[in-house]
Chains A and B, each alone.
Chain A
Amino acid sequence: MAVKPLLSVPREVKAGVPFEVRILIQHPMETGFRRDAVGGVIARDIIHTFECSVDGEEVFAARLEPAIAAKPYLAFSARLERSGTMLLRWVDDHGVEAQERVDIRVV
């Protein structure tokens, strides 16, 4: 996945105040239920695992099924007391792993 995801994370947050994280990943999320023009099954290729943590402490994780739409979108919330580096990581059926890092300063 060479295409960068659309990611919305504030760079500065207030201690203990929840903030929203939004991500849109460019991925076909091929279900494995479709057939091609000659009746062959199109192999499943979805992002099945998504994880978000800050300095090793878990924020949010998702196990995705083929029922998640193409170009998967996730919006969730985090709350920090200390500045840190947010790591967003996901893996698809081909074993392709991608990650994004964002430094967040607590003020």
Chain B
Amino acid sequence: MRRRSFVVMAGAAAMLPLGARAKPEEVEALVRAITGGVPARPGRVKLDVPELVENGNTVGLTVSLGEDVPKDAVLTDIHVFADGNPRPGVVHFRFGKLAGVPKVATRVRLATSQTVTAVAVFADGSCWTDQVGVLVTWSACLD
């Protein structure tokens, strides 16, 4: 009996995620830290991530620039955040002198249904954003 209750407790502990989930305010604070307090404007950057995800353990994610980007604008950074993961930061891309087409694809984990945010930073200091709400039916991180 004692052994069984230990096994049950250990199993329950194994399924508990560590710590709390990130909050939308945390993502807002991180975005403000990038923009220098100004809200990032919607536009110029395009975030491609499926709106309905079956398996949150591996979700294809692509960031690129839209057609509304002026020809002389130089992209320097793209940040990606997820407000429902244990930590809000997902990835930070930096584009160097020899960067080609401003487009990056990767695969991410999404712990639960949440909003994914991309912030693009240009050489003139302007920041642009795109957001996608994602519905996750099978969460990552809990395995």
Chain A residues with CB under 8 Å of chain B are: 18-20, 31-39, 41, 53-54, 57-70, 72-80
Contact = CB atoms under 8 A, between A and B. Distances in A.
A59 B96 contact: yes
Contacts of A74: 104-106
B14 A39 contact: yes
B74 to A, nearest CB: 13
Contacts of A70: 57-58
A58 B107 contact: no
Given A59-B98, A63-B91, A76-B93, 7 more contacts: A19-B100, A53-B96, A66-B109, A69-B57, A70-B57, A76-B99, A76-B104
Contact of A68 (B16, B101, B108): B108
Contacts of A66: 86-87, 109
A78 B99 contact: yes
B107 A57 contact: no
23 contacts: A18-B100, A20-B100, A33-B17, A35-B13, A35-B14, A39-B14, A57-B97, A58-B96, A58-B98, A60-B96, A61-B93, A62-B93, A63-B91, A65-B89, A65-B91, A66-B86, A66-B87, A66-B109, A69-B108, A72-B106, A72-B107, A75-B106, A77-B103
A104 B102 CA distance: 20
A18 B19 CA distance: 43
Contacts of A78: 98-100
Nearest to A79: B100
A91 B107 CA distance: 18
Max count, chain A CB within 10 A of own CB: residue among B82, B97, B98, B107: B98
A33 B104 CA distance: 26
A65 to B, nearest CB: 4
B127 to A, nearest CB: 17
7 closest cross-chain pairs (CB), A and B: A58-B96, A18-B100, A77-B100, A39-B13, A79-B100, A77-B101, A69-B107
B90 interface: yes
B73 interface: no
A60 B97 contact: no
Contacts of B98: 53-54, 57-59, 78-80
Contact of A79 (B82, B91, B99): B99
